[in-house]
Amino acid sequence: MVKKRLRDYVGSMLSQGYPQDYLRDKLLQSGYSQKEINQAIQETYKPPHHLSKLALPIIALSILIIGIIAFFFFSSPSSQQTTFQILSSSQESTPGGQISFIREISYSGSDETIILKYELLSKETNEVIVVDNERVSTSNIQNQEISLDIPSTTSQGDFILRGILTHSAGRLIDSKDIKLVSSLQGSCSDNIKNQDETDIDCGGSCQPCIISTTTTTLPDSTTTTIPATQIEDVDTSSPFKALQIIRSQASQNPGKALDNCGDFQEQSFRDNCIKNVAEVSETTDYCRRISNNRIKDECFESVAISKKQDSICENIDSDRIRDNCYTAFFLDLKDFSVCFKIKDEKLKENCELFRDIN
């Protein structure tokens, strides 16, 4: 009985376009053996039908004709295609540090869920050092900052940061060279407390720190004045770089970081900035300040997953994004109490199948 449920689950996920590697990873984490998983995939995977030798040339000729027509029809400047690239702000990091980058996606086509995989590989051994995955609905695509934590045990040397986008039309891959060094050359404008600084980018050989104060009311109704972490205004003329800086500020002083979000000229960057601050500080009230409904919903989704509180998903207006929020709970956290909350019948069925095989 369990074998049938596993086969049904694998067949359902494959029919929705999930890669076999992704399913293998999830099922191995759930305790299934490689043999059971391979057998389930073999029994549910339907390879393309073999065609006769006569049919192949006819089909090839037809495809060639259609391709020529499509080329002249769709090659106008207004035509669109799916593109994917990773933009790394730095080509160097350290063992135990982070790699941060912006993933940019331009998509044209019908709505679907795409799978994104990020890897850090050794150039010398091709060993995968770090891997991370995410699922994104094409109806909710936006440029996003991604950070990968590098294990402190990683050796120094040359590496490849690789991003893989998988969707119904195939795969897109982009990569960047990364070097891991013993330490990074510090500066007074890198938004990191290094060198001989007494705070971030100030003190020591940098400009003096200006300490502001805030008044805090304690539970016994007395007041006290405490120093606040010095965080300067951010130049938003380079918006992607500014988003990264403000996100790093949010862990120290989310209030000031939120104020800096207001300096963006474009509303979309302003909303994404607020979303970043909300994610880092895990504050749902910040999500409510976002103007764009889609970004606001994604903000609630991120905070819900980060705090592992499915009740936050209820703040999401979009049925699709709310279901994605619940999907993360049953796929990644194995919390099957959310199954009945899912609107999409297919996703609800997947949740119940996954519950039965665990």
Q: Is the pLDDT of residue 140 over 70?
A: yes
Given a cut of 80, is residue 290 above it in pLDDT?
A: yes
Strands 170-180 and 92-93: parallel
Backbone angle region of 247, left / alpha / beta, with phi > 0 → left and psi within -120 to 50 → alpha: alpha
pLDDT on residue 312:
95
d(CA 19, CA 167): 9
Section 128-144 average pLDDT: 84
Residue 173 DSSP symbol: E
User: Higher confidence at residue 36 or residue 291?
Assistant: 291
pLDDT, tens digit, for every residue of 164-195? 998 888 888 898 899 998 876 666 655 555 66
Among 172, 125, 131, which Cα is nearest to 21's?
131
Tens digit of each residue's pLDDT (9 = 90 or more) over 35-88: 888 888 888 766 655 555 566 667 777 777 776 665 554 444 433 478 888 886
DSSP 209: P
Instruction: Please compute the mean of the pLDDT values over residues 285-297 and round it to a whole number.
Output: 92
**Helix H or strand E segment including 276:** helix 267-281
| pLDDT computed for residue 315 by the predictor | 95
How confident is the model at residue 275, as a pLDDT? 93
Tell me what pLDDT residue 83 has: 86
Confidence of residue 227 (pLDDT cuts 50, 70, 90): very low
Q: Say which residue the tokens 């407390």 belong to.
A: 193
Please tell me the predicted confidence (pLDDT) of residue 233.
Answer: 78
Q: What is the mean pLDDT of residues 275-298?
A: 92
Mean pLDDT of 224-237: 59
Which of 184, 181, 165, 176 lies closest to 121, judged by CA? 176
Q: Taking the alpha carbons of 165, 166, 168, 172 in that order, is the dihedral positive or negative?
A: positive
Contact 269, 289 (CB under 8 A): no
The better pLDDT of the pair 199, 27 is held by: 27
Q: Mean pLDDT in the chain?
A: 79
- Please write the tens of the pLDDT for every residue from 190-218: 555 566 676 666 677 766 654 443 443 43
